[in-house]
Amino acid sequence: MAINNKKFFKVFIFSSIILFFVSSMLAGCAPLESNSVHRLKVQVRKLNKKTAKLSQNQTYMEKKLSQMQLNTANSGVSISSLDAKIRDIYGKYEVENHKLNLLNKRFREYRLMVNKQLVKLLKLVKTGVPSPSYKKAAKKKTSIRAAVVKKESAMEYGFKKALSLFDKKKYPAAAAAFHKFLDKYPQSKYAADAMFYKSYSNFNLKKYPVSILEFHKFSQLYPKNPNVPMAIYLQGAGFLKVSDPSDASILFRQVIAKYPGTKAAELSKKAINELSK
């Protein structure tokens, strides 16, 4: 009986020691487990923040990409529209150029005829033989000179009269007067200015599509005329009234680049500044 109690006591002591160690181990692991969980939670929160930031960046980039695609599409439409207008203008220019070539051909034929007549007159002068035909030719030459002087006076008067109407802001009458002048004197020294002021009159009458074509034709036929910079600016101003501002901007920048220091360049800069607001 004493032996059994002794064994029981040993078992009890051994069990108590084991329980003590197990309790100590569990007590030591609890804080460790708690710290690990805390660190994991901190890392999870950091990852969540990074994921949210990446999601925001992706959304921003998608918006920027969408805007770039929209701008590209709008630019394509504007370029297509401008190309169509230029093709239309170029077609009309070809027609007018053909008419001009015909007029030049007739002028060369007329000059050849005059030269032949002058050669005949020179032969008569060298022979020293006065003849009725020579007298008739001399008289005809004098009358031609008088007719030329008379025509020059009428031509100058017609142009100044039309210009006076423009200066008085009587634009319908001015446009009609310049049109009549160009029909009557298409090759005169006033033809370029008459074409410019006719286009300007139509612009002031708010006939923007008509004035755009006329300004383009004027710039092509008379590229060295001092009114060309203003014609291109007014062409851009016309586009600004009837179509997308990008068409006008192209012409304004052309004036600034090719004709710096002109009034048209100054007006073009102001127009671009207004468009950028």
pLDDT in tens, 189-248: 999 999 999 999 999 999 999 999 999 999 999 999 999 999 999 999 999 999 878 889
Q: Is residue 60 part of a domain?
A: no
Cα separation, 221 vs 96, whole angstroms: 10
Our measurement of the distance from residue 98's CA atom to the centroid of its chain's CA atoms, rounded to an integer in Å, reads: 28
Q: Is residue 62 part of a domain?
A: no
Choice among 3-7, 24-28, 106-110 with the minimum mean pLDDT:
24-28
Cα separation, 241 vs 207, whole angstroms: 10
SS (H, E, C) 82-108: HHHHHHHHHHHHHHHHHHHHHHHHHHH
pLDDT in tens, 56-106: 877 888 888 888 888 877 777 677 677 677 777 766 767 787 777 777 667
Boundaries of domain holding 205: 123-275
- Determine if the pTM surpasses 0.75: no
Q: Is residue 72 part of a domain?
A: no
| C-alpha closest to that of 235 among 221, 257, 255 | 255
Asked if the model's pLDDT at residue 27 lies above 70, the reply is: no
Q: Is residue 181 part of a domain?
A: yes
Q: What per-residue confidence (pLDDT) applies to 110?
A: 65
Q: What is the mean pLDDT of residues 244-257?
A: 91
Q: Is residue 37 part of a domain?
A: no
pLDDT band at residue 138 under the 50/70/90 scheme: very low
Asked if the model's pLDDT at residue 134 lies above 70, the reply is: no
Q: What per-residue confidence (pLDDT) applies to 125?
A: 58
Q: Is residue 170 part of a domain?
A: yes
DSSP letters, 104-122, are: HHHHHHHHHHHHHHHHHHH
Cβ(215)–Cβ(234) below 8 Å: yes
Domain count across the chain: 1
Cβ(111)–Cβ(238) below 8 Å: no
Sign of CA dihedral 41, 47, 49, 52: negative
Share of the chain above pLDDT 90, in %: 41
Our measurement of the distance from residue 3's CA atom to the centroid of its chain's CA atoms, rounded to an integer in Å, reads: 115
Share of the chain above pLDDT 70, in %: 68
Q: Is residue 129 part of a domain?
A: yes
pLDDT band at residue 142 under the 50/70/90 scheme: very low
Q: Output the CA–CA distances (angstroms, integers) from residue 33 to 100, 203, 253, in the order listed.
A: 99, 86, 72
Q: What per-residue confidence (pLDDT) applies to 50?
A: 78
Crossing angle of the two packed helices 228-242 and 191-204, in degrees rounded to 10: 20
Q: Is residue 84 part of a domain?
A: no
Choice among 8-17, 63-72, 131-140, 150-159 with the minimum mean pLDDT:
131-140
Long-range contacts of 165-169 (CB under 8 A, 24+ apart): 166/197, 166/200, 166/201, 169/204
The CATH number of whichever domain residue 253 belongs to comes to 1.25.40.10
Burial of 222 (0-12, 13-18, 19+ CB in 10 A): middle
